[in-house]
Amino acid sequence: MPASAPAPVAVTGAEGFIGSHLVEALVAAGHRVRAMVQYNSFSSYGWLETLPGEVMDNVEVVLGDVRDPGSVHGLVTGTEAVYHLAALIAIPYSYRAPHSYVETNVTGTLNVLEAVRHLGIPRLVHTSTSETYGTAQTVPISEDHPINTQSPYAASKAGGDRLADSYHASFEVPVVTLRPFNTFGPRQSMRAVIPTVIGQVAAGERTITLGDLRPTRDFSYVKDTVAAFLAVGTAPAADVVGRTFNSGTGEEISVGDLVSLIGKIMDTELEVRADQERIRPAASEVMRLVCDASRLRAATGWAPAHTLEQGLAQTVAFFRDPLNLGRYKAGIYNV
Ligand SMILES: NC(=O)c1ccc[n+]([C@@H]2O[C@H](COP(=O)([O-])OP(=O)(O)OC[C@H]3O[C@@H](n4cnc5c(N)ncnc54)[C@H](O)[C@@H]3O)[C@@H](O)[C@H]2O)c1
Protein backbone atom coordinates (compact mmCIF):
# COMPACT_ATOMS: atom_id res chain seq x y z
CA MET A 1 0.00 0.00 0.00
CA PRO A 2 1.51 3.41 -0.94
CA ALA A 3 2.05 5.65 2.11
CA SER A 4 -0.51 8.15 0.78
CA ALA A 5 -3.30 5.60 0.24
CA PRO A 6 -6.29 6.34 2.46
CA ALA A 7 -6.96 3.82 5.23
CA PRO A 8 -9.56 1.16 4.46
CA VAL A 9 -12.86 0.75 6.27
CA ALA A 10 -13.67 -2.58 7.91
CA VAL A 11 -17.00 -4.37 7.63
CA THR A 12 -18.03 -7.41 9.69
CA GLY A 13 -20.84 -9.55 8.31
CA ALA A 14 -19.68 -8.36 4.88
CA GLU A 15 -20.75 -11.52 3.05
CA GLY A 16 -24.31 -11.29 4.33
CA PHE A 17 -27.44 -9.62 2.97
CA ILE A 18 -27.05 -6.03 4.22
CA GLY A 19 -23.26 -6.31 4.53
CA SER A 20 -22.75 -7.14 0.84
CA HIS A 21 -24.88 -4.14 -0.21
CA LEU A 22 -22.94 -1.96 2.24
CA VAL A 23 -19.62 -3.12 0.75
CA GLU A 24 -20.85 -2.16 -2.72
CA ALA A 25 -21.96 1.27 -1.49
CA LEU A 26 -18.68 1.91 0.35
CA VAL A 27 -16.67 1.05 -2.76
CA ALA A 28 -18.95 3.25 -4.88
CA ALA A 29 -18.23 6.07 -2.39
CA GLY A 30 -14.48 5.64 -3.04
CA HIS A 31 -13.45 3.48 -0.07
CA ARG A 32 -11.27 0.43 0.05
CA VAL A 33 -12.98 -2.19 2.21
CA ARG A 34 -11.51 -4.83 4.48
CA ALA A 35 -14.32 -7.36 4.62
CA MET A 36 -14.59 -9.97 7.34
CA VAL A 37 -16.18 -13.15 6.02
CA GLN A 38 -16.90 -15.81 8.65
CA TYR A 39 -14.30 -18.56 8.33
CA ASN A 40 -15.59 -21.69 6.60
CA SER A 41 -13.73 -24.58 5.08
CA PHE A 42 -15.41 -24.07 1.67
CA SER A 43 -13.62 -20.70 1.31
CA SER A 44 -17.04 -19.31 0.45
CA TYR A 45 -17.27 -15.52 0.38
CA GLY A 46 -21.07 -15.62 0.50
CA TRP A 47 -22.79 -12.84 -1.45
CA LEU A 48 -19.46 -11.10 -2.06
CA GLU A 49 -18.87 -13.80 -4.69
CA THR A 50 -21.66 -12.30 -6.78
CA LEU A 51 -20.27 -8.74 -6.83
CA PRO A 52 -18.62 -7.45 -10.03
CA GLY A 53 -14.82 -7.74 -10.35
CA GLU A 54 -14.40 -3.96 -10.38
CA VAL A 55 -16.04 -3.80 -6.95
CA MET A 56 -14.04 -6.73 -5.54
CA ASP A 57 -10.78 -5.10 -6.80
CA ASN A 58 -11.31 -2.69 -3.89
CA VAL A 59 -12.18 -5.34 -1.31
CA GLU A 60 -9.73 -7.28 0.82
CA VAL A 61 -11.48 -10.38 2.13
CA VAL A 62 -10.35 -11.60 5.55
CA LEU A 63 -11.69 -14.93 6.77
CA GLY A 64 -12.29 -14.69 10.50
CA ASP A 65 -14.74 -14.80 13.35
CA VAL A 66 -16.04 -12.03 15.61
CA ARG A 67 -16.01 -14.48 18.54
CA ASP A 68 -12.21 -14.51 18.31
CA PRO A 69 -10.54 -11.34 19.72
CA GLY A 70 -7.34 -11.75 17.69
CA SER A 71 -9.31 -12.17 14.50
CA VAL A 72 -11.16 -8.91 15.14
CA HIS A 73 -8.00 -7.06 16.20
CA GLY A 74 -6.33 -7.97 12.88
CA LEU A 75 -9.37 -6.91 10.87
CA VAL A 76 -9.65 -3.52 12.51
CA THR A 77 -5.94 -2.58 12.60
CA GLY A 78 -5.20 0.50 10.48
CA THR A 79 -8.79 1.21 9.45
CA GLU A 80 -10.51 4.59 9.51
CA ALA A 81 -13.96 3.24 10.39
CA VAL A 82 -15.58 -0.06 11.34
CA TYR A 83 -19.09 -1.14 10.40
CA HIS A 84 -20.06 -4.02 12.68
CA LEU A 85 -22.90 -6.04 11.15
CA ALA A 86 -21.87 -9.63 11.92
CA ALA A 87 -24.55 -11.40 13.92
CA LEU A 88 -26.72 -14.44 14.14
CA ILE A 89 -30.07 -12.97 13.23
CA ALA A 90 -32.80 -15.63 12.82
CA ILE A 91 -35.34 -15.51 15.64
CA PRO A 92 -36.50 -19.18 15.41
CA TYR A 93 -32.91 -20.42 15.41
CA SER A 94 -32.28 -18.33 18.55
CA TYR A 95 -34.82 -20.55 20.36
CA ARG A 96 -32.69 -23.56 19.44
CA ALA A 97 -29.14 -22.26 19.79
CA PRO A 98 -29.15 -19.34 22.27
CA HIS A 99 -25.57 -19.81 23.46
CA SER A 100 -24.28 -19.18 19.96
CA TYR A 101 -26.29 -15.92 19.86
CA VAL A 102 -24.69 -14.68 23.06
CA GLU A 103 -21.23 -15.66 21.83
CA THR A 104 -21.69 -13.97 18.44
CA ASN A 105 -23.89 -10.97 19.23
CA VAL A 106 -22.68 -10.10 22.74
CA THR A 107 -19.10 -11.41 23.01
CA GLY A 108 -18.49 -10.67 19.30
CA THR A 109 -19.56 -7.06 19.84
CA LEU A 110 -17.38 -6.85 22.97
CA ASN A 111 -14.40 -7.98 20.86
CA VAL A 112 -15.11 -5.27 18.27
CA LEU A 113 -15.45 -2.60 20.99
CA GLU A 114 -12.19 -3.70 22.63
CA ALA A 115 -10.31 -3.63 19.32
CA VAL A 116 -11.68 -0.20 18.39
CA ARG A 117 -10.85 1.10 21.87
CA HIS A 118 -7.27 -0.15 22.00
CA LEU A 119 -6.42 0.69 18.39
CA GLY A 120 -7.97 4.18 18.60
CA ILE A 121 -10.17 3.73 15.52
CA PRO A 122 -12.01 7.02 14.92
CA ARG A 123 -15.51 5.64 14.18
CA LEU A 124 -17.47 2.46 14.94
CA VAL A 125 -20.97 1.87 13.65
CA HIS A 126 -22.65 -0.81 15.73
CA THR A 127 -25.78 -2.51 14.35
CA SER A 128 -28.83 -2.93 16.57
CA THR A 129 -32.36 -3.98 15.54
CA SER A 130 -35.94 -2.80 16.03
CA GLU A 131 -36.62 -6.23 17.61
CA THR A 132 -35.05 -4.84 20.81
CA TYR A 133 -38.19 -2.69 21.32
CA GLY A 134 -40.59 -5.64 21.27
CA THR A 135 -44.25 -5.01 20.43
CA ALA A 136 -44.82 -1.26 20.17
CA GLN A 137 -46.16 0.27 23.39
CA THR A 138 -46.45 3.67 21.67
CA VAL A 139 -46.27 4.47 17.96
CA PRO A 140 -44.28 5.44 16.06
CA ILE A 141 -41.35 3.97 17.99
CA SER A 142 -38.67 6.52 18.84
CA GLU A 143 -35.31 5.73 20.43
CA ASP A 144 -36.86 6.59 23.83
CA HIS A 145 -39.28 3.64 23.59
CA PRO A 146 -38.60 1.00 26.30
CA ILE A 147 -36.45 -1.98 25.39
CA ASN A 148 -38.42 -5.22 25.74
CA THR A 149 -36.61 -8.26 24.41
CA GLN A 150 -39.10 -10.99 23.48
CA SER A 151 -36.65 -13.50 21.92
CA PRO A 152 -33.12 -14.67 22.69
CA TYR A 153 -32.10 -12.94 19.43
CA ALA A 154 -33.47 -9.60 20.62
CA ALA A 155 -31.90 -10.06 24.05
CA SER A 156 -28.48 -10.79 22.56
CA LYS A 157 -28.68 -7.74 20.30
CA ALA A 158 -29.74 -5.53 23.22
CA GLY A 159 -26.77 -6.92 25.16
CA GLY A 160 -24.45 -5.75 22.39
CA ASP A 161 -26.16 -2.34 22.35
CA ARG A 162 -25.70 -1.91 26.11
CA LEU A 163 -22.02 -2.78 25.81
CA ALA A 164 -21.65 -0.20 23.03
CA ASP A 165 -23.29 2.48 25.21
CA SER A 166 -21.10 1.51 28.16
CA TYR A 167 -17.90 1.66 26.08
CA HIS A 168 -18.80 5.16 24.99
CA ALA A 169 -19.54 6.24 28.56
CA SER A 170 -16.56 4.49 30.16
CA PHE A 171 -13.83 4.82 27.53
CA GLU A 172 -15.15 7.41 25.04
CA VAL A 173 -15.16 4.82 22.28
CA PRO A 174 -16.52 6.72 19.26
CA VAL A 175 -19.43 4.38 18.63
CA VAL A 176 -22.74 5.18 17.00
CA THR A 177 -25.56 2.63 17.06
CA LEU A 178 -27.86 2.24 14.06
CA ARG A 179 -31.13 0.47 14.84
CA PRO A 180 -32.69 -0.56 11.51
CA PHE A 181 -36.29 -1.69 11.30
CA ASN A 182 -37.03 -4.66 9.02
CA THR A 183 -34.98 -4.53 5.85
CA PHE A 184 -35.59 -6.41 2.62
CA GLY A 185 -34.22 -6.72 -0.90
CA PRO A 186 -32.10 -8.89 -3.17
CA ARG A 187 -29.86 -11.43 -1.38
CA GLN A 188 -31.93 -11.64 1.81
CA SER A 189 -32.18 -15.05 3.43
CA MET A 190 -35.40 -17.01 2.88
CA ARG A 191 -36.00 -17.15 6.62
CA ALA A 192 -37.39 -13.60 6.28
CA VAL A 193 -41.00 -13.08 5.20
CA ILE A 194 -40.57 -11.15 1.93
CA PRO A 195 -38.04 -13.55 0.33
CA THR A 196 -40.11 -16.48 1.63
CA VAL A 197 -43.23 -15.28 -0.18
CA ILE A 198 -41.50 -14.08 -3.36
CA GLY A 199 -39.26 -17.14 -3.47
CA GLN A 200 -42.17 -19.57 -3.13
CA VAL A 201 -44.11 -17.79 -5.89
CA ALA A 202 -41.05 -17.57 -8.15
CA ALA A 203 -40.56 -21.32 -7.63
CA GLY A 204 -44.09 -21.91 -8.96
CA GLU A 205 -46.07 -22.23 -5.71
CA ARG A 206 -49.52 -20.64 -5.53
CA THR A 207 -50.30 -21.69 -1.95
CA ILE A 208 -47.86 -19.90 0.32
CA THR A 209 -46.90 -21.40 3.66
CA LEU A 210 -46.46 -18.80 6.43
CA GLY A 211 -46.72 -18.18 10.18
CA ASP A 212 -48.89 -15.47 11.79
CA LEU A 213 -50.39 -12.99 9.28
CA ARG A 214 -51.38 -10.35 11.84
CA PRO A 215 -48.07 -8.75 12.92
CA THR A 216 -47.21 -5.43 11.31
CA ARG A 217 -43.75 -4.32 10.29
CA ASP A 218 -42.04 -1.23 8.89
CA PHE A 219 -40.09 -2.47 5.85
CA SER A 220 -37.11 -0.57 4.41
CA TYR A 221 -35.53 -1.35 1.08
CA VAL A 222 -31.93 -2.43 1.63
CA LYS A 223 -30.41 0.50 -0.26
CA ASP A 224 -32.15 2.89 2.15
CA THR A 225 -30.83 1.01 5.17
CA VAL A 226 -27.34 1.08 3.63
CA ALA A 227 -27.69 4.84 3.12
CA ALA A 228 -28.47 5.11 6.84
CA PHE A 229 -25.27 3.20 7.67
CA LEU A 230 -23.25 5.58 5.50
CA ALA A 231 -25.02 8.59 7.01
CA VAL A 232 -24.08 7.68 10.60
CA GLY A 233 -20.64 6.41 9.53
CA THR A 234 -19.64 9.70 7.88
CA ALA A 235 -21.54 12.40 9.84
CA PRO A 236 -19.51 14.77 12.03
CA ALA A 237 -18.71 13.03 15.34
CA ALA A 238 -20.45 15.74 17.38
CA ASP A 239 -23.75 14.94 15.64
CA VAL A 240 -23.82 11.17 16.04
CA VAL A 241 -21.17 9.61 18.32
CA GLY A 242 -22.53 8.13 21.54
CA ARG A 243 -26.07 8.11 20.16
CA THR A 244 -28.56 5.54 18.84
CA PHE A 245 -30.54 6.14 15.65
CA ASN A 246 -33.58 4.32 14.29
CA SER A 247 -33.89 3.85 10.53
CA GLY A 248 -37.22 3.01 8.95
CA THR A 249 -39.98 4.45 6.78
CA GLY A 250 -42.66 5.31 9.36
CA GLU A 251 -45.20 3.15 7.50
CA GLU A 252 -46.47 -0.22 8.68
CA ILE A 253 -48.11 -3.11 6.88
CA SER A 254 -49.42 -6.42 8.20
CA VAL A 255 -47.91 -9.67 6.93
CA GLY A 256 -51.32 -10.56 5.44
CA ASP A 257 -51.55 -7.29 3.47
CA LEU A 258 -47.94 -7.69 2.40
CA VAL A 259 -48.74 -11.08 0.86
CA SER A 260 -51.64 -9.52 -1.08
CA LEU A 261 -49.37 -6.72 -2.32
CA ILE A 262 -46.69 -9.18 -3.45
CA GLY A 263 -49.37 -11.23 -5.23
CA LYS A 264 -50.47 -8.07 -7.07
CA ILE A 265 -46.90 -7.15 -8.05
CA MET A 266 -46.25 -10.73 -9.22
CA ASP A 267 -49.64 -10.82 -10.97
CA THR A 268 -50.65 -14.01 -9.13
CA GLU A 269 -53.63 -15.08 -6.99
CA LEU A 270 -52.12 -16.36 -3.75
CA GLU A 271 -53.58 -18.55 -1.08
CA VAL A 272 -51.98 -18.72 2.36
CA ARG A 273 -51.67 -21.87 4.42
CA ALA A 274 -50.80 -21.35 8.10
CA ASP A 275 -47.95 -23.57 9.23
CA GLN A 276 -47.93 -24.27 13.00
CA GLU A 277 -44.17 -24.78 12.90
CA ARG A 278 -43.77 -21.14 11.85
CA ILE A 279 -46.04 -19.70 14.58
CA ARG A 280 -43.94 -18.26 17.43
CA PRO A 281 -44.79 -18.60 21.13
CA ALA A 282 -47.46 -15.92 21.75
CA ALA A 283 -45.40 -13.81 24.17
CA SER A 284 -42.36 -13.97 21.88
CA GLU A 285 -44.10 -12.69 18.72
CA VAL A 286 -43.56 -8.97 18.18
CA MET A 287 -47.00 -7.81 17.01
CA ARG A 288 -46.31 -4.26 15.90
CA LEU A 289 -43.26 -2.27 14.76
CA VAL A 290 -43.38 1.16 13.17
CA CYS A 291 -40.45 3.54 13.13
CA ASP A 292 -39.92 7.14 14.10
CA ALA A 293 -36.68 8.04 12.30
CA SER A 294 -36.86 11.78 12.97
CA ARG A 295 -33.66 11.74 15.08
CA LEU A 296 -31.67 10.29 12.17
CA ARG A 297 -33.26 12.70 9.72
CA ALA A 298 -32.45 15.70 11.95
CA ALA A 299 -28.83 14.63 12.55
CA THR A 300 -27.88 13.55 9.03
CA GLY A 301 -30.63 14.51 6.57
CA TRP A 302 -31.25 10.80 5.81
CA ALA A 303 -34.60 9.90 4.30
CA PRO A 304 -35.78 6.74 2.55
CA ALA A 305 -35.66 7.01 -1.24
CA HIS A 306 -37.69 3.92 -2.18
CA THR A 307 -41.35 3.07 -1.65
CA LEU A 308 -42.29 -0.44 -0.52
CA GLU A 309 -43.65 -1.14 -4.02
CA GLN A 310 -40.41 -0.02 -5.69
CA GLY A 311 -38.30 -2.17 -3.37
CA LEU A 312 -40.58 -5.17 -3.86
CA ALA A 313 -40.34 -4.81 -7.66
CA GLN A 314 -36.52 -4.93 -7.40
CA THR A 315 -36.70 -7.94 -5.10
CA VAL A 316 -39.14 -9.79 -7.38
CA ALA A 317 -36.82 -9.20 -10.35
CA PHE A 318 -33.93 -10.65 -8.34
CA PHE A 319 -35.80 -13.81 -7.32
CA ARG A 320 -37.24 -14.32 -10.81
CA ASP A 321 -33.71 -14.75 -12.15
CA PRO A 322 -33.18 -18.55 -12.08
CA LEU A 323 -29.51 -18.07 -11.27
CA ASN A 324 -30.46 -16.24 -8.07
CA LEU A 325 -33.40 -18.48 -7.16
CA GLY A 326 -31.13 -21.49 -7.63
CA ARG A 327 -29.03 -20.32 -4.67
CA TYR A 328 -32.01 -20.79 -2.33
CA LYS A 329 -34.06 -23.70 -0.97
CA ALA A 330 -37.55 -22.35 -1.66
CA GLY A 331 -39.28 -25.66 -0.91
CA ILE A 332 -38.36 -25.93 2.78
CA TYR A 333 -38.88 -23.93 5.97
CA ASN A 334 -35.65 -21.93 6.21
CA VAL A 335 -34.91 -21.31 9.89
N1 LIG B 1 -32.35 -7.97 7.95
C2 LIG B 1 -33.02 -7.18 8.77
O3 LIG B 1 -34.23 -6.96 8.60
C4 LIG B 1 -32.31 -6.51 9.92
C5 LIG B 1 -33.03 -5.55 10.67
C6 LIG B 1 -32.40 -4.92 11.73
C7 LIG B 1 -31.09 -5.22 12.03
N8 LIG B 1 -30.41 -6.15 11.28
C9 LIG B 1 -29.01 -6.41 11.65
O10 LIG B 1 -28.23 -6.18 10.48
C11 LIG B 1 -27.06 -7.01 10.52
C12 LIG B 1 -26.93 -7.79 9.22
O13 LIG B 1 -28.05 -8.64 9.09
P14 LIG B 1 -28.45 -9.34 7.69
O15 LIG B 1 -29.92 -9.21 7.55
O16 LIG B 1 -27.57 -8.87 6.62
O17 LIG B 1 -28.19 -10.88 8.05
P18 LIG B 1 -27.14 -11.93 7.45
O19 LIG B 1 -27.35 -13.20 8.20
O20 LIG B 1 -27.25 -11.97 5.97
O21 LIG B 1 -25.75 -11.29 7.84
C22 LIG B 1 -25.06 -11.56 9.04
C23 LIG B 1 -23.65 -11.90 8.70
O24 LIG B 1 -22.89 -12.13 9.90
C25 LIG B 1 -22.00 -13.20 9.65
N26 LIG B 1 -21.62 -13.86 10.90
C27 LIG B 1 -22.40 -14.61 11.72
N28 LIG B 1 -21.68 -15.11 12.74
C29 LIG B 1 -20.42 -14.64 12.58
C30 LIG B 1 -19.22 -14.79 13.30
N31 LIG B 1 -19.17 -15.54 14.42
N32 LIG B 1 -18.09 -14.18 12.85
C33 LIG B 1 -18.12 -13.44 11.72
N34 LIG B 1 -19.24 -13.26 10.98
C35 LIG B 1 -20.37 -13.85 11.40
C36 LIG B 1 -22.79 -14.15 8.75
O37 LIG B 1 -21.92 -15.01 8.05
C38 LIG B 1 -23.53 -13.17 7.85
O39 LIG B 1 -22.81 -12.87 6.69
C40 LIG B 1 -27.20 -7.89 11.77
O41 LIG B 1 -26.44 -7.29 12.81
C42 LIG B 1 -28.69 -7.82 12.09
O43 LIG B 1 -28.92 -8.02 13.47
C44 LIG B 1 -30.99 -6.80 10.24
Bridge partners of residue 221, in order along the sequence: 184
Q: How far is the CA of 130 from the centre of ligand 1 (A)?
A: 14
| CA 149 to ligand 1 centroid distance, Å | 18
> For residue 273, what pLDDT is reported?
87
Atom 1 in ligand 1: residue holding the nearest Cα: 183
Enumerate the domain spans of the chain.
9-185+220-247
Q: What are 141's strand-pairing partners?
A: 291
Ligand 1 pocket residue status of 133, Cβ below 6 Å: no
Q: CB within 8 A of 254, min separation 6: which ones?
A: 213, 214, 215, 216
User: In sequence order, which residues have a C-beta less than 8 Å from that of residue 78 and are 6 or more positions away?
Assistant: 7, 8
- Each residue's pLDDT expressed in tens, for the chain with a length of 335 residues: 455 678 999 999 999 999 999 999 999 999 999 999 999 999 999 999 999 999 999 999 999 999 999 999 999 999 999 999 999 999 999 999 999 999 999 999 999 999 999 999 999 999 999 999 999 999 999 999 999 999 999 999 999 999 999 999 999 999 999 999 999 999 999 999 999 999 999 999 999 989 899 999 999 999 999 999 999 999 999 999 999 999 999 999 999 999 999 999 999 999 988 888 888 999 999 999 999 999 999 999 999 999 999 999 999 999 999 999 999 998 888 88
Which residues are tagged catalytic?
153
9-185+220-247: CATH topology is Rossmann fold (3.40.50)
Alpha-carbon distances, residue 116 vs 122, 226, 307 (angstroms): 8, 22, 36
pLDDT for 4 equals 61
CB-ligand 1 contact for 127 (6 Å cutoff): yes
pTM here?
0.97
* Single-letter code of the amino acid located at 130: S
